[in-house]
Chain A
Amino acid sequence: MTDSKYFTTTKKGEIFELKAELNSDKKEKKKEAVKKVIASMTVGKDVSALFPDVVNCMQTDNLELKKLVYLYLMNYAKSQPDMAIMAVNTFVKDCEDPNPLIRALAVRTMGCIRVDKITEYLCEPLRKCLKDEDPYVRKTAAVCVAKLHDINAQLVEDQGFLDTLKDLISDSNPMVVANAVAALSEIAESHPSSNLLDLNPQSINKLLTALNECTEWGQIFILDCLANYTPKDDREAQSICERVTPRLSHANSAVVLSAVKVLMKFMEMLSKDLDYYGTLLKKLAPPLVTLLSAEPELQYVALRNINLIVQKRPEVLKHEMKVFFVKYNDPIYVKLEKLDIMIRLASQANIAQVLAELKEYATEVDVDFVRKAVRAIGRCAIKVEQSAERCVSTLLDLIQTKVNYVVQEAIVVIKDIFRKYPNKYESVIATLCENLDSLDEPEARAAMIWIVGEYAERIDNADELLESFLEGFHDESTQVQLQLLTAIVKLFLKKPTETQELVQQVLSLATQDSDNPDLRDRGYIYWRLLSTDPVAAKEVVLAEKPLISEETDLIEPTLLDELICYIGTLASVYHKPPSAFVEGGRGVVHKSLPPRTASSESTESPETAPAGAPPGEQLDTVPTQGDLLGDLLNLDLGPPVSGPPLATSAVQMGAVDLLGGGLDSLMGDEPEGIGAPSFVAPPAAAVPANLGAPMGSGLSDLFDLTSGVGTLSGSYVAPKAVWLPAMKAKGLEISGTFTRQAGSISMDLQLTNKALQVMTDFAIQFNRNSFGLAPAAPLQVHAPLSPTQTVEISLPLSTAGSVMKTEPLNSLQVAVKNNIDVFYFSTLYPLHILFVEDGKMDRQVFLATWKDIPNENEAQFQIRDCPLNAEAVSSRLQSSSIFTVARRNVEGQDMLYQSLKLTNGIWVLAELRIQPGNPSFTDLELSLKCRAPEVSQHVYQAYETILKN
């Protein structure tokens, strides 16, 4: 009996039949039926109609049946959210099952069901499972936190799961540690600014210990996480490297590559004089070579990475040329990559071998491969001067084969050889000219035309040759047209007498009959040059050209450094930064190599400078293509050959941006983003960066106001300040303030619609904060907010929310949602809204407490320019729930002893010194004592606010 029969049922009325079987009493029949349902699901049939029947099978003690039902649920719960609720009870029950496998299964599956209603019920079981006695349950729960975060990030933070997850990093079981690391790394990626993975020497040590014990996959998670750490100095870097190197002998290539990543990154911090640096370099080569005996797909990944490594540190593999020789039965993608690396490793020492190989490859069958091999021969000639002559003769041999694409490719590279070694190999021009007719690719035609123009004086029939191209001028590609124009102008300057007509012809073709602005402009430039000052024209057009450089296709250094940080990942396979192919905010964080420590030698500076510089400047949200393009613009466009590879890569990235669905979010607020997508920061990343600063300044303005709006019945209320400007929130402007009246705190909000669209569906949520402030009721905006309309709302607050210490202590992060989007802002609340009404302390208790609190906790402040007497001060403070416990007069100074209590039960004791009747000395001296000294500063601010308004 096999399962394949389930795939074959296609008759009508099938659903009905299945329904009957699902409700059968027999377990076996039920199981069969569920299997059929899953088979239909796999091939894409809609079996969601069976939802209730399948869910009914869930309550079973048969683990096999349970797993099947769960599989079904994961697929269909989203389309039937109301039905999915039926399953919740079983899930919750299963999370308590004595069998750890069932507990884990339940929590794992629940996390996969992305239905809000289910998510609510997930929190409690998840909390328990995170602390389960069984490691299997814990490791599953750790991943579940990442799942939940993906559905509802806020909920995860509110519920404090992140802290529990952090605790799991110290778990006794290595697999739990590994999964916790994986989950935290992923969550941290979507909050680039948060310090979630708080890596410090202690936690690094824990990770390194777990590294020795966990599964191969766990080792990868941990190594990838380690790579994000920046050691504080070269000694720490070295000690981590020492503990990571054993991983290089792991059979799993991914473990090896991730270890290589950590080593490559941390090596940056080591001084090259160090013995250890040399040892490490030697240790890197053998495992990299071993990767080449893996399966072909992995070889491909390894080769793409080796390509980066060889560019960054050529010394690692300089003796390993032979292993990159192409094998007959390598897949084409492996062959092409090997070829690339061979050229990078080519040097005087091994050039003979390399050339012999390349010549061999040039006779293979695969067109792309042959072309690349021919091109490689040319590149060897440019790179290793001693070999140039042999390369040229090899190329000529290849041209003799008359194989069309080989000839064309050879001509393209010979042009480059001419540019590198002028006046050396021109004797071959005659052979090249013989093949003129067979050239049908633009690049080859352009190269040939360039050669004819450049050496016009040596080619007798240069004018005829060029004229023959001119006949089909408009059918040529732009590349050829431009080249032809330049070549004919060169020819004219060299042989003015015979070619006047020809040059006239090409200039008029370029300027009058062409739609291409580049061609037209170049035509005009030449025309004007020739007509105004032929001598100058000669100087410009026939100027000596700079020699081309050896390496024309190196990856731009800052990009290379970034890619080194991504060894093993897709970015290193594509040779593009993640932002070029990953949507949204994820992975947009710009990674860079750690700067070398101060002890390292200064000769290194040209290499390290680009690596070290970016992090400082790049902190604001400029995406990586931005600086790539910036570099491009600064690039001296002297040697044309070095231009194209960079330019195309940038264009490709732009193109990817355009194609991706990520654009619609960009278009929402900035239509000009379409023109230059690579310059627009992704909105997700832009929001947090823009927070804070304007808010902060708004608030300080607020405190400078001296309008005195304080009310008598409750504590002081500051005037409303703009918290969220309309331009940041698609037209919604929010201003507000905090009040405390008769023991209840509220947030008074004023919402203004400055958009052209009606706003509805308002909701508000707070991030966890120091005093557990949370909305006590939903944000109720009864009628839709039409354009230009303003509403005033008083939102009651409670202090029963979950607590997380914020920095500064009194900051509050708020998210407001409406039908348009979700907006975030942060604000500071005055501490006195938290002073409770029963904050008056008994005298005796006050004295005892004052003595009891250590003197280190005492903080002194001055309240300047406050010309009030003791009574006024006392009454004003009392209205804000700061109570005077006792009053004393010492040497003409009034001493007030005061107490107050915060909502979370923290007492603050104060001693206030007033010098009445002394108009020249109006400062008050305030000493605060509290068991939690960090609140003192804010209490002082509250004093100042109350007394000055």
Chain B
Amino acid sequence: MIGGLFIYNHKGEVLISRVYRDDIGRNAVDAFRVNVIHARQQVRSPVTNIARTSFFHVKRSNNWLAAVTKQNVNAAMVFEFLYKMCDVMAAYFGKISEENIKNNFVLIYELLDEILDFGYPQNSETGALKTFITQQGIKSQHQTKEEQSQITSQVTGQIGWQREGIKYRRNELFLDVLESVNLLMSPQGQVLSAHVSGRVVMKSYLSGMPECKFGMNDKIVIEKQGKGTADETSKSGKQSIAIDDCTFHQCVRLSKFDSECSISFIPPDEEFELMRYRTTKDIILPFRVIPLVREVGRTKLEVKVVIKSNFKPSLLAQKIEVRIPTPLNTSGVQVICMKGKAKYKASENAIVWKIKRMAGMKESQISAEIELLPTNDKKKWARPPISMNFEVPLAPSGLKVRYLKVFEPKLNYSDHDVIKWARYIGRSGIYETRC
């Protein structure tokens, strides 16, 4: 298991050092600094073995977090733990900067003592930790006996992520469907590859320990549950989507998902990622880029790019940016665009065209004349793809939240009393069109 955990600043000075196992000596701290942080060559692996001691590291805003071991540990677990450690620290004091670490070192030690015992990760959900970490938040010494046992049963219980006894005047929940759409398109408009990776993020302000059930228009889920009339399935079948794979937050009962395809859980009282998913079929491509590049002699290029928005006219896309690469021997560029602003950025070898807002089913165009310096370089310009950034208020995968039901049998509020919000945001991932 994990033998020790160190945090260094960018210079390699130790900010936090906690050793869990006897086989890790103080010299391990120095070994990592000398061989990794101060290494002359860039370190080429996140796992380093120095004199039979293995170091796992991640970097967060120039600080190094390193876990050390001499055993054959579960490597995936160590990294997951390091990320979790970062999350927990961020939840307590925000950015993981050197200053924040120094300001909170006692808290960090207390956390490390709690979430890692003899190198074994223990409960690391911030919600639960906040109940009994003394450095900040609730003071433990004034707790009654019931409160104490509540804390411990919650920390060790099946629902380690949720505190008991939370009350809200207004029961409210927010669902964000965040998707990033990736595309590689040929100049002729043929889709070479496209996929959406999405996340459903939930923020809940619900009293008690509510049992939630989440429904979406996934094909398998609908088929499995839609034992209703044939009419109903055929109707929903039209709008349903095929999800390639999805993963869930630990609060979701996986065995239930496996057997009944239902997503049921008790949500933690904080913002959390309910699920992640991937789709590759029937993706809505919010923008289409049509490039036209013409070489006029050896010293001139004419480029015309049309973008078409492909969604409901009532919706507005934002933060649109089109990046048109230019050859290395470009000497000057003249640009004309109908909408937004365009600029040639010599340092980036690209024309950057920005449009603040654009409604659906519209079209816009840019044309540019690129002057080239004559070169005797035989190698032709590789023509990198035109890339695009944007944000649209829809889910390109077509995912829809069908319902989120809340049941809290102990407290007297029902599903109808809960105010629910859902929002869809589609962003561009790597969205490229070859030219």
Show the binding face of A for B, using Cβ within 8 Å: 2-4, 6-7, 35, 38-39, 42-44, 61-64, 67-68, 70-71, 98-101, 104, 108, 111-112, 114, 134-137, 139-140, 143-144, 146-147, 150, 173-176, 179, 182, 186, 212-217, 220-221, 224, 243, 245-247, 249-254, 256-258, 286-287, 289-290, 293, 295-298, 300-302, 322, 327-328, 332-333, 336, 363, 368, 401, 566, 568-574, 578, 581-583, 586-587, 656, 659-662
Contact = CB atoms under 8 A, between A and B. Distances in A.
B104 A570 contact: no
Contacts of B1: 182, 186
A68 B135 CA distance: 10
Contact of A136 (B99, B102, B156, B245): B156
Given A297-B46, A297-B56, A333-B46, A250 B247 contact: yes
Contacts of B225: none
A635 B430 CA distance: 48
B45 A568 contact: no
A217 B76 CA distance: 11
B403 interface: no
A289 B73 CA distance: 23
Interface stretch (B77-85, B214-222, B289-297, B348-356): B77-85
Contact of B278 (A44, A217, A290): A290
B149 interface: yes
Given A100-B152, A302-B76, A656 B46 contact: no
A143 B119 CA distance: 10
A38 B250 contact: no
A581 B52 contact: yes
A4 B103 contact: yes
Given A4-B102, A298-B79, A333-B46, A401 B379 contact: yes
Given A100-B149, A363-B382, A300 B45 contact: yes
Nearest to A109: B113
Contacts of B74: 220, 224, 254, 257-258, 568-569
A343 to B, nearest CB: 19
B430 A297 contact: no
Nearest to A179: B120
Contact of A42 (B77, B83, B105, B273): B105
A212 B250 CA distance: 10
Interface string B230-274: 000000000000001111111001110110000000000000010
Given A108-B117, A568-B76, A568-B77, A217 B247 contact: no
A868 to B, nearest CB: 61
Contacts of A42: 14-17, 105
Dominant secondary structure at the A interface = helix
Most A CB within 10 A of own CB, among B15, B49, B120: B120
Contacts of A114: 22
Given A108-B117, A139-B156, 5 more contacts: A3-B105, A7-B105, A215-B124, A581-B72, A660-B51
B253 A582 contact: no
Interface string B86-110: 0000000000000100111111011
Contact of A586 (B54, B71, B141, B244): B71
A710 B82 CA distance: 69
A450 to B, nearest CB: 30
B250 A251 contact: yes
23 contacts: A3-B107, A4-B102, A4-B103, A6-B105, A43-B14, A99-B140, A101-B151, A134-B152, A135-B157, A182-B1, A245-B258, A246-B254, A252-B80, A253-B80, A256-B247, A258-B74, A287-B245, A293-B276, A301-B76, A332-B42, A569-B72, A581-B49, A659-B52
B47 interface: yes
Given A61-B141, A251-B249, A570 B75 contact: yes
Interface string B297-316: 00000000000000000000
A289 B102 contact: no
Contacts of A112: 20, 118
B410 interface: no
Q: Which 8 A-B pairs have the closest CB atoms?
A: A286-B245, A136-B152, A4-B102, A254-B76, A246-B258, A254-B77, A578-B72, A2-B103
Most B CB within 10 A of own CB, among A215, A256, A286, A301: A215
Interface in B1-29: 1, 13-17, 20-23, 26
B186 interface: no
B99 to A, nearest CB: 7
Contacts of B430: 327-328
B132 interface: yes
Nearest to A298: B79
A175 B123 contact: yes
A139 to B, nearest CB: 5
Contacts of B69: 570
B190 interface: no
Contacts of B149: 100, 134
Contacts of A662: 52
B148 A100 contact: yes
B203 interface: no
B73 A569 contact: yes
A33 to B, nearest CB: 12
Contacts of B248: 249-251
B80 A135 contact: no
A38 B253 contact: no
Interface of B: 1, 13-17, 20-23, 26, 42, 44-47, 49, 51-52, 54, 56-58, 69-77, 79-83, 99, 102-107, 109-110, 113, 117-118, 120-125, 132, 134-135, 140-141, 143, 145, 148-149, 151-153, 155-158, 160, 193, 197, 244-250, 253-255, 257-258, 273, 275-276, 278, 379, 382, 430
B157 A173 contact: yes
Contacts of A134: 149, 152-153
A136 B42 CA distance: 44
Contact of B118 (A2, A64, A143, A578): A143
Given A42-B17, A43-B14, A250-B254, A582 B79 contact: no
Nearest to A577: B72
Most B CB within 10 A of own CB, among A43, A108, A112, A224: A112
A289 B69 CA distance: 28
A3 B76 contact: no
A246 B275 CA distance: 14
Contact of B46 (A296, A401, A574): A296
Contacts of A363: 382
Contact of B155 (A136, A252, A328, A333): A136
A368 B42 CA distance: 12
A296 B106 CA distance: 30
Contacts of B109: 38, 71
Contacts of B257: 246, 249
Most A CB within 10 A of own CB, among B46, B47, B49, B140: B46
B254 A135 contact: no
B208 to A, nearest CB: 20
A3 B123 contact: no
Nearest to B120: A182
Nearest to B29: A44
Nearest to A337: B45
B141 A63 contact: yes
A575 to B, nearest CB: 12
Most A CB within 10 A of own CB, among B57, B134, B257: B134
Given A42-B14, A246-B255, A572-B75, A140 B117 contact: yes
A137 B152 CA distance: 8
Contacts of A62: 141
A136 B1 CA distance: 21
